[in-house]
Structure 1
């Protein structure tokens, strides 16, 4: 079993490297993306009456917004309307606040923690690991153990399907506090 897991992790790592090597220059971003105008590096004010409301300071236009402090994602259309919002379970590595673009996607793979996942949408990297959204095929959203380094941001299967449909290659992902 350990051999299969190691082979799967190596394969995913190689595919991630290969995908990153073929990203067009206009989509590539450094590990710490630059902040675009209107995106705040500090925690944006929240509406205490509506905790799921889109925070100010998350940019403009069509985008995925991910709050690392609130463990929440918003899918936002071009005119700023929130199409869907949901909570997520983060991995052990967080992306830095900033604007990124979706660089690769995979319908089904084995995650770095050995869990079969679907609807993988990658947009950043940290400490040599890809960071992206995914849904466990078994529907679980377990928090990783302290010994597992992972950039997986896990969502429910229904939320993963919605994000998969929305976040195509090149779609903007804004990470906020």
Structure 2
């Protein structure tokens, strides 16, 4: 009888009437479903983490390209001159250079030669107040006082007061016995000021001297400004 009761444990009904195999199978199914649920939850969590990581990476890439586009726009705007801004002077014409070439005011009226002592520059001004030519000169050691003068005499070629052969000499003043005038050295040299020697030659380059010679005839006004 003991062996007969132990046998139903493998497949027959127990004393309570519940199939043992069914209970075991049911318990096993319950644990199996639990394992599947846990596995599903674990794999679902891993997939969610992957998706979140990819989403964050995508946002980072989009943000990077948006920043690049914004920076490129800023650089383009910096290179574009504003409508209200004034163009900067070119490399060959600085504001100081432009002002240096500007005709001094006041400097007389009508056709005249203007000589600026401080700037060491000459302007040939036409009757219409248009500057025909302007250029720098080498100053003499004796300067005439600011004022209005007239061309008194001219010489095509002579020896200057510094001993250098010169051409296109245009004289317009005398200071303490020294004649002051414009001239150009035949060798193209510019004078070196020597305070020990009283020289009145305002030295020009040869091309400038030729222009002044043709412009400043006897009686032409020469205005000297500080």
Determine if the alignment matches structure 1 residue 94 to structure 2 residue 131: no
1:112 is displaced (CA, Å) by: 0.8
* TM-score, normalised relative to structure 1: 0.72
Deviation of 1:145 (Å): 1.9
Of Structure 1 and Structure 2, which has the larger fraction of its residues in strand? Answer: 1
Q: What secondary structure sits across from 1:65 in the alignment?
A: strand
Tell me the alpha carbon deviations over residues 78-110 of structure 1, each in whole angstroms, 9 at most, x when there is no partner.
010000000001111000111100000000000
RMSD (Å), alpha carbons = 1.1
Aligned position for 2:111: 62
Aligned partner of 1:156 among 190, 200, 205 = 205
* Structure 2: runs of 5+ lacking an equivalent: 1-94
Which residue does the alignment assign to 1:10?
A: none
**Alignment partner, residue 179 of structure 2:** 130
Deviation at 1:147, TM superposition (A): 1.9
SS of residue matched to 1:90: coil
**Cα distance, 1:144 vs structure 2:** 2.8
Alignment of 1:72 onto 2:121: yes
Measure how far apart 1:143 and its partner are. 1.8
Structure 1 residue 168 and structure 2 residue 217: aligned? yes
For residues 23-62 of structure 1, what are the structure 2 equivalents within 5 Å?
A: 48=96, 49-62=98-111
For residue 211 of structure 2, give the secondary structure of its aligned residue in structure 1: helix
* SS in structure 1 at match of 2:209: helix
Identify which of structures 1 and 2 has the higher relative contact order when contacts are C-alpha pairs closer than 8 Å and 6+ apart: 1
Contact in 1 for aligned 2:100/2:119 (Cα 8 Å): no
Equivalences, count: 131
Query: Which has more radius of gyration?
Result: 2
Distance 2:175 2:100 in 1: 28
Unaligned runs of 5+ in 1: 1-46
| Offset of residue 142 of structure 1 | 2.1
Following superposition, the deviation at residue 50 of structure 1 comes to 2.8
Higher relative helix content: 2
Q: Which residue of 2 aligns with 1:109?
A: 158
TM-score by length of 2: 0.56
